[in-house]
Amino acid sequence: MKGEEEKKRREEEESKKKEDEVRKRKEREQMKRKEEEERKKKEEEEKRRIEKEERKKKEEEEKRRMEKEERKKKEEEEKKRKEEEERKRKEEEERNSGQGTGKDRKSEGHREESDQVNDPEVDLVDAGRSRLLMSVKDIPLPVYSQVCLSLNVRRHVRSDDFRMLGDMVGLSSVEIEFVGQRENPADEILKTWSSRSEATVAKLIELLKHKDFGRIDVAQIVEDWVYSKKR
């Protein structure tokens, strides 16, 4: 009888021992799995941190580049303005020095030519042709402001606003996104574009009327000024 009880006791102890080993093994596996998950989590966090820093670095570099370009553009504009003032000053001096020398030389042909020049319709055509060749930066402020105001309104269906203008004049998506944070993005885009020789009033109208852009309403604002008698 005692032998059977002893045998039963040993079997129970052996069973308990095996259960303890199984439990400990499961605990070790669970701990190992948890450590592995924690390690992966830290690696992902580190990866995201590095990507964020890299993205921030690129944004800062792009910002510095655009600020540098903007400073350069302003310097060029200032240089052109001074050259234009100097040219006008010299022309004024030449006119003053030669004033009165040709007053008595008018012929009938000159009078006819003068009559033609003073013709309102001829003046209007000449003015329109001259304005089409002007740089966009020379558009009168009231007209220019109206153009910018119209293009600054975001149109989410086709994005046919300042964003498409930026794309049409060759700005990158990063540059467009950057100027989009400014108070007057259309103005920023036009000022950037105006440093190029192609940035004429005629070209602006052409871009606005392009089938992909289709902002006839804004083109009409510019054309109304081009062919009006107002300066």
Q: In angstroms, how far is CA 175 from the centroid of its own chain?
A: 4
- List CB contacts of 163: < 8 A, sequence separation 6 or more: 154, 176, 180
Q: Examine the pLDDT at 101 and tell me if it is beyond 70.
A: no
Sign of the dihedral through C-alpha 162, 163, 164, 169: positive
pLDDT-derived band at 100, boundaries 50, 70, 90: very low
Residue 18 lies in a domain: no
Tell me the pLDDT tens digit for each residue of 129-183: 889 999 999 999 999 999 999 999 998 888 899 999 999 999 999 999 999 999 9
Q: Is residue 196 part of a domain?
A: yes
Q: What is the pLDDT of residue 115?
A: 44
Express as a percent the part of the chain with pLDDT over 90.
Answer: 48
Cβ distance 219 to 208 under 8 Å? yes
Name the range with the highest mean pLDDT among 77-81, 122-126, 219-223: 219-223
Domains contained in the chain, number: 1
Max Cα-Cα span within the chain: 153
Q: Is residue 149 part of a domain?
A: yes
Q: What is the pLDDT of residues 17-50, one digit of tens each?
A: 889 899 999 999 999 999 999 999 999 999 999 9
- On the question of pLDDT at 213 being above 60, the answer is yes
Q: What is the pLDDT of residue 98?
A: 53
In a domain, 192, yes or no: yes
| Helix, strand and coil percent figures for the chain, each rounded to 5 | 80, 0, 20
- Using alpha carbons only, how large is the chain's radius of gyration in Å? 38
Residue 1 maps to a domain: no
229 and 127 in contact (C-beta within 8 Å)?
A: yes
The rounded distance, in Å, linking the Cα atoms of 139 and 222 is: 9
Q: Tell me the C-alpha distance between 37 and 71, whole Å.
A: 51
In a domain, 13, yes or no: no
Could you list the residue range(s) of the whole structural domain that residue 207 is in?
134-227
Instruction: For residue 139, tell me if it sits in a domain.
Output: yes
**CATH code of the domain containing 147:** 1.10.533
**The pLDDT of residue 231:** 61
Task: Confirm whether 76 is domain-assigned.
Answer: no
Q: pTM for the complete prediction?
A: 0.46
